Amino acid sequence: MPSATRFVSSLLILVTTTACDGQGPPGAAQKTTASAVADPSPTAPDPAETGKHYQSALSLEAAGRYPEARAEVELAIAGGAGRDAELLAAKLAILRDDLDAARRLLEPLASNGTDALALYNLGLIAQRTGHYNEARTRYLAALKADPNYAAIRYNLAVLTWDAGVKDEAQHHARLFLELSPNDPNAPELRRKVELDPPPAPADTPAKPGDLKNPFAP
């Protein structure tokens, strides 16, 4: 797929934590006071550390170091980083073709129908796995959430053209070009969905009306 589809995948590395069973070091005397036998309160996540893990994951992903990025983003999620970290984890999952893991991360985010990015990526997963109707439905839902999301129009144009729905494909392509006329993928899309007329044969002389400035040297 062209870069405008922004594929976003891989096996998730599960973050493990050290189990605590309340026992002291070997040979230590066992305390019997109420405070000693009570379960300790869990340590609250440190927002600063969570933020560091998320920023580290972003930097590692940008550098193409996906396994390390995945480990960092899992730590961020465990610390309560929330939506953005979950979206990054889904992107890493898609990049490594673990589409089931990506879907599990994205579906809760998309459940209220307002998260355009989550819906877009679910559409991308469906498109990559050959589920036309689901892909189209997800993309249209994403457009409802964000009508100006140009990449959705691009993918819809490709999806519907490949399915033989040419009028709809050209409709989405035109809207994509309105939203993002300078996108580097624009010429390729125009050619794909036949928005540009085919070039004239090399031996066909130009008509006078084709000349923008017939008096130019």
Whether residue 12 lies inside any domain: the answer is no
pLDDT-derived band of residue 194, with 50, 70 and 90 as boundaries?
very high
- CA angle, residues 100, 173, 202, in degrees to nearest 5: 125
What is the span of the domain harbouring residue 185? 148-198
Whether residue 158 lies inside any domain: the answer is yes
Whether residue 50 lies inside any domain: the answer is no
Whether residue 180 lies inside any domain: the answer is yes
Whether residue 173 lies inside any domain: the answer is yes
From the list 166, 180, 107, 165, the residue with the least C-alpha distance to 138 is 107
Total number of domains constituting the chain: 1
pLDDT-derived band of residue 46, with 50, 70 and 90 as boundaries?
confident
Whether residue 192 lies inside any domain: the answer is yes
The count of other CB atoms within 10 Å of the CB of residue 158 is 24
* Token reading at 45: 């996540």
Whether residue 69 lies inside any domain: the answer is no
pTM for this predicted structure:
0.70
Q: Please give the average per-residue pLDDT across 5-23, as a whole number.
A: 31
> What does the pLDDT read at residue 196?
80
Average pLDDT in the chain: 80
For residue 198, pLDDT beyond 90: no
Whether residue 178 lies inside any domain: the answer is yes
Give tens-digit pLDDT for 66-112.
Answer: 999 999 999 999 999 999 999 999 999 999 999 999 999 999 999 99
Instruction: Say whether 96 sits in a helix, a strand or coil.
Output: coil
Q: Is 6 left (phi over 0), alpha (psi -120 to 50) or beta?
A: left
